Structure 1
Amino acid sequence: MPELAVKSNCYDVAIVGGGVVGCAVARRLTLDGARVVLIEKGADILSGASKANSALLHTGFDAPAGSLELQCMQAGYAEYLAIRAELNLPLLETGGMVIAWNEEQLSKLDGILAQAHGNGVGDAVLVDGAAVAAREPHLAPSLGAVLVPGEHVIDPWSAPLAYLTQAVVNGAEFLRSTEVIGGRFADDEWALDTSSGPLRARFVVNCAGLFGDRLEASLLGDAHFSIKPRKGQFLVFDKMAAKLMRTIILPVPTERTKGVVLARTAFGNVLVGPTAEEQDDRVHARTDEATLEILHDAAVAMIPELADVPVNAIYAGLRPASEQKHYRIRREDGRQFLTLGGIRSTGLTAALGLAQFAAGELRAMGLEISALAEPVVKPMPNISEMAPRDWQAENHGTIICHCELVTEREIAATFDTAVPPGDLGGLKRRTRACMGRCQGFYCSANVARLSEGRLDPPMAAAS
């Protein structure tokens, strides 16, 4: 097996999995002074579960009381608000309403409010149907809601990119297209076998998402949990839909799922989803027409005027659910191994909090590190609709993607960054190119030209 070109003979921590949690952990540990390598088997970050979500920043109002999930969500929420300005991360302050559409749902609102207050979300209030209509005049009549002012919308792609970028510019290493295929712990360190060659690290953090149980079994000999992939399908309405709502519309949850959400996006659209469909396949999340029709009907039932708004995009993602609802954490002191598993729909919010938790657990296991005195801060380019974008600047040059107003220099610039895109999905998530009404029909040839020789697979093979 070839030797791997690495910056360190032995890292302090090897993090396996480049989703939002892995990126957040890489940032936290690097800023805390650890020598970190993030290993991702995909060609880019967010190649698994993290690439498809509802992009909500949650208060934790409905999280299990006293749970690690609640702790991490609220810590992550607070840290996001604290760092978003310096990292140039957007926040669409919408608030959220858990809507009761029938008497059965109405009977549950008092319990939802009590849980919110018990979780420390003291500004949550009960409002009647008239107050709901006054706040959301395009909404179908309802019986009432729990209003949670702190529920917001963020850019779900720039945030994890910012986390990993800050890690890399402060000394972390990112290995993409690299799979961990085995490993041994001996003499106070891990010897990991990867598809790119061997590497050594004192500690391993398992953030492998949909494959977290398999990685645990491979390295430790057994897994303490089993991933049960849960597919979620989404519909994205055209930008004209955004004028029809301002608040995140949340359902009264069931035992099985939080239910279908209707929300604006950071990019000026409105999305509805996700579904909750069990499947065995851990890689492919396919959409189907019948389910998408159900989603469309659900959105129109909530906002009837959406019936006249075209759908721009459809997508599906997989959540790394397990046989139990709570986060699946395993700490092996004797083998210096930590699993952060079963991180489902709250992972985008909880990621920074989970990173704080992981840093504490590693210190308790013996990791001795000192925080960087003056860490480098690298703001992200804005791709949201909440701040000026490149096409609005003077001398912006050629616009390549007219649906999403992406300039040529934005696409070129993303390849000259600390964490450039590795595949077409990564390029889309960094620029919004090929993600508008035409889904790349008009701009893909020029995007392929600008990205020639830089993506794996190249656009011609990916399309």
Structure 2
Amino acid sequence: MLHTTTPPSPDLFDVAIIGAGVVGCAVARRFALEGARVVVIEKGSDLLSGASKANSAILHTGFDAPPGSLELELVKAGRAEYLAIRHRLGLPLVETGALVCAWNALEADKLEAIAAQGRDNGIDELRLLSGAEARATMPGLSGRLVAAVEVSGEHIIDPWSAPLAYLAQAVALGAVFLREAELIDGRFEGEWQLATSAGKVRASSVVNAAGLFGDIVDRRLGFTPEFTIRPRKGQFVVLDKAAFRHVPRIVLPVPTEITKGVVVCPTAFGNVLIGPTAEEQDDRERATVETETLQALLARGAEIVPALAGMPVTAVYAGLRPASEQKAYRIFSRPEQRAITLGGIRSTGLSAALGLAQYAMKLHAGFKLPAFAPVAEPDIALPNLAETRERDWQRPDHGEIVCHCELVTRREIEAALASSVPPGDYGGLRRRTRAGMGRCQGFYCNARLAEMTRGRLSTPLAVEEEKA
């Protein structure tokens, strides 16, 4: 049966969350756990339809966040909560550690300040290393390495299962997830009257977590936006699993004023990621990949880890980050209208999401509404997609292997389709199962996937022939 958008309830929600990226999903979970009646309004056909679907999947420590900033506070809070709940939710943690690498004397001169800032930020697990000492922890690094700062607490996670788990917990507590429901207009007259492309929604309060459209959503809610989103494109290259053994750690560059720079890092799925670039553009929806840029990323990766030269490429992609005219998070609370804006959440959003949700809850407490009644956390354990733990294909009675590149079973796909938050499109299915994400990029398994998902996705994988 086709999964359709859940119709809006005529009842009054306690909070309407606009945007089902990682921040919106985390906020939905926090408010639902506090006992609020929650609705999540998403214009795409699935969660993570915008900026959140494309990131480097690093769980940051905050060592390089601006000292004393709200971002630092929320990254640390979000990381701490992720580590506290990950076992309960079945979420992985690949303990890689990171090296901030200096490739010339000028960059090396900046390492002491980077380490000092990290310690000032409360991150104690930092070490200044010579080039030889750094290579001892990761032998594949180029001999050109001058020096490095080791940040042992930087790790890799599954960037898609985490927000799915957050939203699934919210849904288990009664939250409504509206898909293909673009916010058209909002009016506050003692309560919020929200017009969406899927119908009207009533709510006592709103949280704008619309990412790349955060300033536009503020305007549609009747506010004069206090920030402007300036989309920043990041292109990535994903290398074949054969590259994984050469990159056991996250390799970070010495950052600039504009960007944290190109990272070489392992993924939870057994690949190696190179990227992102940092390119300003006006388009908020399309993120193209350019051959010349991707070739430059491959060349840079081989300069850092020579064994990556000539390594097969599994995939390329580009994402957009919701940067603004300031580097800081753009968070605003309007108690008179019972509205919160969580804007300008850029590269640390995955790490800070749970912290942002805690902060939104604190801001909401200032609205002087009746207190909620916290509820018990429901048991939601997502299937493991990481290569560091047992996967479904290693267990008996999985049915069949549907995607041979990524070893995805029929049981995993059927479970995703039957879950409380089923995929709305092919991208959502891929993010829930890894199907179609391997070397052939779905060439061999798409026909089987089309058969299994027929009538169950908003955009079908195959167009059925009309019957005479």
State the match for 1:169 in structure 2: 172
Aligned: 1:150 with 2:153: yes
1:204 pairs, out of 197, 206, 217, with 206
Q: Distance in 1 between matches of 2:459 and 2:266?
A: 32
State the match for 1:92 in structure 2: 94
Deviates more, 1:236-245 or 1:362-371: 362-371
CA contact (8 A) 2:8 2:178 kept: no
Deviations 1:428-456 (A, max 9, x none): 00000000000000000000100101111
State the match for 1:303 in structure 2: 305
Offset of residue 183 of structure 1: 1.3
> Does the C-alpha gap of structure 1 residues 400 and 68 become closer, same or farther in structure 2, counting only changes over 3 Å?
same
Offset of residue 191 of structure 1: 0.6
CA contact (8 A) 1:32 1:369 kept: no
> Does the C-alpha gap of structure 1 residues 371 and 118 become closer, same or farther in structure 2, counting only changes over 3 Å?
farther
1:159 pairs, out of 158, 162, 169, with 162
Q: Distance in 2 between matches of 1:367 and 1:357?
A: 17
CA contact (8 A) 2:60 2:154 kept: yes
Pairs aligned (count): 459
CA contact (8 A) 1:401 1:407 kept: yes
Counterpart amino acid of residue 243 in structure 1? R
Offset of residue 295 of structure 1: 0.3
State the match for 1:315 in structure 2: 317
Q: Distance in 1 between matches of 2:451 and 2:156?
A: 33
Offset of residue 132 of structure 1: 0.7
Q: Distance in 1 between matches of 2:122 and 2:81?
A: 17
State the match for 2:255 in structure 1: 253
Q: Distance in 1 between matches of 2:200 and 2:310?
A: 56
Residue aligned with 2:174, SS: coil
Residue aligned with 2:354, SS: helix
State the match for 2:222 in structure 1: 220
2:44 pairs, out of 31, 42, 45, with 42
> Does the C-alpha gap of structure 1 residues 357 and 8 become closer, same or farther in structure 2, counting only changes over 3 Å?
farther
Q: Distance in 1 between matches of 2:247 and 2:436?
A: 25
State the match for 2:269 in structure 1: 267
Extract unaligned runs of 5+ from structure 2. Answer: 1-5
Q: Distance in 2 between matches of 1:461 and 1:89?
A: 35
Deviates more, 1:352-361 or 1:135-144: 135-144
State the match for 2:458 in structure 1: 456
Residue aligned with 1:235, SS: strand
Deviations 1:288-326 (A, max 9, x none): 000000100000000111113201000000000001110
Residue aligned with 2:77, SS: helix
Aligned: 1:182 with 2:185: yes
Offset of residue 8 of structure 1: 6.0
The 5 Å alignment of 1:64-83 reads 64-83=66-85
Counterpart amino acid of residue 151 in structure 1? E
Residue aligned with 2:264, SS: strand
Q: Distance in 2 between matches of 1:455 and 1:252?
A: 43
Residue aligned with 2:323, SS: coil
Deviations 1:370-421 (A, max 9, x none): 3434231211011111111111111222101000000111111111111000
CA contact (8 A) 2:138 2:248 kept: yes
Offset of residue 7 of structure 1: 4.5
Counterpart amino acid of residue 172 in structure 1? A
Q: Distance in 1 between matches of 2:350 and 2:29?
A: 15
CA contact (8 A) 2:10 2:201 kept: no
Q: What is the TM-score when the length of structure 1 is the normalising length?
A: 0.97
CA contact (8 A) 2:34 2:375 kept: no
CA contact (8 A) 2:15 2:205 kept: yes
> Does the C-alpha gap of structure 1 residues 196 and 373 become closer, same or farther in structure 2, counting only changes over 3 Å?
closer
Q: Distance in 2 between matches of 1:32 and 1:371?
A: 6
CA contact (8 A) 1:266 1:386 kept: yes
Residue aligned with 2:268, SS: coil
1:353 pairs, out of 352, 355, 360, with 355
Q: Distance in 2 between matches of 1:308 and 1:371?
A: 57
CA contact (8 A) 1:34 1:369 kept: no
CA contact (8 A) 2:35 2:375 kept: no
Percent of pairs identical after alignment? 58
Counterpart amino acid of residue 182 in structure 2? E
CA contact (8 A) 1:268 1:385 kept: yes
Residue aligned with 1:360, SS: helix
CA contact (8 A) 2:45 2:180 kept: yes
Q: What is the TM-score when the length of structure 2 is the normalising length?
A: 0.96
Q: Distance in 2 between matches of 1:358 and 1:368?
A: 16
State the match for 2:111 in structure 1: 109
Runs of 4 or more above 6 Å deviation: none
Counterpart amino acid of residue 278 in structure 2? A
Q: Distance in 2 between matches of 1:461 and 1:80?
A: 40
Residue aligned with 1:227, SS: coil
Deviations 1:333-359 (A, max 9, x none): 111110000000000000000000000
